[in-house]
Amino acid sequence: MEEVYTQGVWIAEGLQQRTKSQEKFWLTVTHVGDPKAAFLLVFPFTYFISRRAGVAVLWVAAISEWLNLVLKWLLFGERPFWWIGKSGLFVNKQPNIRQFPSTCETGPGSPSGHAMVTAAVWWVVVSSLGSFLYSRTHSVVLSAAPYLVYVAMLVAVGISRVFILAHFPHQVVAGSITGLILGIVLSCRVPEGRPLLFFFSFSSVLLFGALMLHAGLKHLEIDLSWSIALAKKWCSREEWIRLDTAPFSSLTRDCGALLGLGLAQYWKPGGWSLPWAPRALSLAISSMGLYHVNRLPLPVRPQELFYALFFVRFVLVPLIVMVLVPGLVHLFTRKKKKD
């Protein structure tokens, strides 16, 4: 395995040296591929175009990120930015590479969460778009275009993760393949119209299932905090270590989003029926609302409080997008028509 890791480091060095002028592009791509973007960007954008596709995006994002967390706990994948120093193989010849603010994630590295969630979520988007284009044009070439963009996006996200030293190439490939399979399977089973009890139960199962796995591995004397210690030791800057990249942040995000999805469908079954102009307005307001909700600073001590508030934050995401903002837009546009 050392040889695979070593080759990955030299590939990362080559990328940084040869594409140095595209640094801002790669940093932008890695932000777009962040699992958080699936909840805060892709979900609202998709929802106001197609309700079913939007619900599918949130559903697939939560399940794929949760499964990614479980796989990371079981596979113990290294990350380049700490393995370079930890391995002791580069004492005589240090690779000419550097870290970035997005580099220092604290969870294990295999498989890549960015690649896995991006592959799963964007499969929902491109398959829906491809089907729509084919139903309107009956052109195989035109309906295949979204899939070509999909492949290009996965390649770009993968390169960006290797470029910033967050992942080795094989971790990105594994994440992309796993995400693609999950996207295909989960997009066929969208829980639209399910009762609140289903979402409450499912969210609870994911939460307590992960906690039980964590407790079981800890009982076997497997230290699941090993990656956090290495990230803190080998990260170039202390401020680049963020609690929202920790494994339990992913867990609370996924469970919170699923519970919020259930609450949104319970309070407003079927959603709001809005024309295109009010939908566009709802999208703009929802995006601004989610931006400010995400920017609200959360106390990092005690950590239990941070995770609880992080959970609440993502419970609010579906409620803002599916109930609060469309409801207000519907109310005000309806009043305007009456006048």
Q: Report d(CA 77, CA 293) in Å as an integer.
A: 32
Q: Is 313 annotated as a binding residue?
A: no
CB 268 within 8 A of CB 323: yes
- Find out whether 143 and 136 touch, Cβ atoms under 8 Å: no
* Joined tokens for residue 238: 């202390």
Amino acid at 14: G
Distance (Å, whole) CA 19 – CA 12: 10
Cα distances (angstroms) measured from residue 284 to each of 45, 54, 128, 264, 326: 9, 16, 22, 19, 11
- Amino acid residing at 195: P
Question: Is 167 part of the annotated catalytic residue set?
Answer: yes
> How many whole angstroms separate alpha carbon 240 and alpha carbon 27?
14
Q: How far apart are CA 269 and CA 264, in angstroms?
A: 8
Which residues, 6+ apart, have CB-to-CB distance to 247 below 8 Å? 69, 72, 73, 106, 107, 224
Active site residue 219: no
Q: Catalytic residue among 138, 167, 214, 292, which?
A: 167
Q: Is 242 annotated as a binding residue?
A: no
Cα angle at 76 between 175 and 89, to 5 degrees? 100
CA triplet 309, 315, 321: central angle to 5 degrees? 130
Nearest one of 27, 31, 3, 4 to 16, comparing CA atoms: 27
Query: How far is Cα 319 from Cα 321, in angstroms, rounded to an integer?
Result: 6
Specify whether the CB–CB gap between 15 and 98 falls below 8 A: no
Angstrom distances, CA of residue 218 to CA of 67, 222, 224, 247, 250: 19, 5, 7, 15, 19
Active-site residue set: 114, 167
Residues of the binding site for substrate? 79, 161
Residues of the binding site? 79, 161
